Chain A
Amino acid sequence: MTHLLSTVGRKPQRVLPGFNLTLGYTVLYLSLIVLIPLSALVFKTFTLTWDQFWAAVTGPRVMASYRLTFGASLIAALVNVVFGLLVAWVLVRYDFFGKKVVDALVDLPFALPTAVAGISLTALLAGNGWIGQYLEPLGIQLAFNPNGVVIALIFIGLPFVVRTVQPVLEDTEKELEEAASCLGATRWQTFTRVIFPSIAPALLTGFAMAFARAIGEYGSVIFIAGNMPMVSEITPLIIIGKLEQYDYAGATAVALVMLVISFMLLLVINALQTWQRRRTGASS
């Protein structure tokens, strides 16, 4: 069917008016809002010599922030893969009371402003919070240290995995599972050999999306992180810190590193989605 759609789309369709107007407006607006401002970032970086640039993006505090940002984003995205798959599975395969509400609630991290998520997770996990009060006597500290960063990023990333895996899981064919079971496979074998390979591309896409979002996240993290230099300072905060000291060139250099990484992740996600579409298209 994708084949049919693409041939329909490939026909020259200049019967419809408005091509110049809409494409012209799209390119103009895109340039004004996105491309020209982003190019300012690149040009500002050129005012630095290579040595200055290198010093700005590899200072010890900056390096520590990369380790925290990428490490915490990786852990959070992995946790989201496990629990995102679990939530998607339960929502697609089982019936239980309040399922519709739970399904709608999955999108809460998209809808809730990040600053609100940040202060509320902090209040929850701080020593006097609903959860923190039980953990503190045990010597477990979840707020104001890297643990808090991971928890905030889990919150932010959850919907990505659930919402990529859910539609694919809905489309998987029960017949294949029945066939596997008829051929003597246990339920676990059916899951690992039949179901899992068909949802693996979606799972990987969801992982990449949650990871990409986590790397750039700012609002929810700064409240709960404690923001100690070298320990719990994320890279976006380094940019803000440099800006507050009027080190515009330094801030821009670190921002450029983040921009390049997020652009590469965008390309990876696009490639994964193409793979996923081809995989699901081929199976049906």
Chain B
Amino acid sequence: MTKHTSTTEPAWVRFSLITLALTFMFLFLVLPLATVFAEALRKGFGAYFEALQEPDAWSAIRLTFITALIAVPLNLVFGVAAAWAIAKYEFTGKAFLTTLVDLPFSVSPVVAGLIYVLMFGAQGWFGPWLQAHDIKIVFAVPGIVLATVFVTFPFIARELIPLMQAQGSDEEQAAIVLGATGWQTFWRVTLPNIKWGLIYGVILCNARAMGEFGAVSVVSGHIRGQTNTMPLHVEILYNEYQSAAAFAVASLLALLALVTLVIKSVVEWRHEQAMKTVTEAPPERPEDSLNSSMASISQEVIQS
């Protein structure tokens, strides 16, 4: 330890900094998380499971899963297509297109919900037509799905674009030259290479899709048992002073968050391992490109 004294701090400084950082993390992250479970179990396990078995809670859980099951695959297909187009080719307006892909991240969730009301609401562009044909989008499930697709739009694309850019397209070109079709190249060459980035993006996309509140709240109409997702159900119970029941449903979402963090850590670790073995093998893949792809991965998380 002594030989590093020039590039580190005295022990008491290290100790105080660690203590200060951990205290901050404890107050701002651990305590709120612990509060969710403590409040959920305030009336005991019986009341906890009763709150979760309530029909409205069940329909909220079902709707949340349905929404994520539609939104995540849609954005997955988009993410792969966008990353393929942006990473593998050069064309004018590419930088602008990349910025537009990012746009939904910087739009307030409330604004995201509002734009669909303006499109499909009774006063909206397609409102009269939709009413004439008896189709409900806003204040119904399609609106919830649309708003969720919007807020989770860039997650997978943002993950894949820098990763595929760093990997280049030499391997794909080799496959094509050797006679593989486009689809074969994608399934056999590209997909194995982007596997971890893809899983990573899907995990984050799913967490946001299941937890989105603001955008969904604007388009949902809050009809109990029909257009309530889990976060909206939490809000209703909370506003009705059913605190324990609200926290019981919230605890499921907190568990989802914890599972997401665990999978995310595992994927990061696997990705690092995969990158390490790749760096040791061919000299064609410069270490810097791997570093930049790792840096971009952490950048992506930040964007979310």
Contacts and interface: CB of A to CB of B under 8 A. Distances in A.
A17 B182 contact: yes
B61 interface: no
B98 to A, nearest CB: 9
Interface string A76-112: 0000000100110111011010001010111111111
Interface in A106-148: 106-117, 119-121, 123-124, 129-131
A170 B35 CA distance: 33
Interface of B, helix, strand, loop or mixed by DSSP = helix
B109 A255 contact: no
A216 B207 contact: no
Contacts of A218: 108-110, 213-214, 217
Contacts of A26: 78, 81-82, 85-86, 97, 101
A132 B139 CA distance: 37
Given A1-B289, A107-B264, A159-B302, A177 B7 contact: yes
B35 A124 contact: yes
Interface in A130-189: 130-131, 154-155, 158-160, 163-164, 166-167, 171, 174, 177-178, 181-182, 187
Chain A contact residues: helix, strand, loop or mixed: helix
B193 interface: no
A131 B256 CA distance: 25
Contacts of B25: 87, 102, 105-106
Given A5-B289, A23-B85, A105 B211 contact: no
A248 interface: yes
B8 interface: yes
A141 B167 CA distance: 53
Interface string B61-82: 0000000000000000110011
Contact of A9 (B165, B186, B303): B165
Contacts of A262: 106-108
Contacts of B85: 19, 22-23, 26
A263 B106 contact: yes
A4 B292 CA distance: 13
Contacts of B298: 163, 166-167
A113 B214 contact: no
Contacts, number: 322
| A-B interface, 8 closest residue pairs, ranked by CB to CB distance from nearest | A113-B211, A216-B108, A219-B213, A181-B6, A1-B288, A218-B214, A17-B182, A111-B257
Interface of B: 6-10, 14, 17-18, 20-22, 24-25, 27-33, 35-36, 39, 77-78, 81-82, 84-86, 88-91, 97, 99-111, 114-119, 121, 123-125, 146, 149-150, 153, 165-166, 168-169, 172-173, 176-177, 181-182, 185-186, 204, 207, 210-214, 217-218, 230-232, 234-235, 238, 243, 246-247, 250, 253-254, 256-258, 260-262, 264-265, 286, 288-289, 291-292, 294-295, 298-299, 301-304
Given A105-B29, A266-B103, 14 more contacts: A2-B288, A4-B286, A8-B168, A13-B90, A25-B77, A26-B97, A30-B82, A37-B150, A40-B125, A41-B115, A96-B22, A105-B25, A216-B110, A216-B111
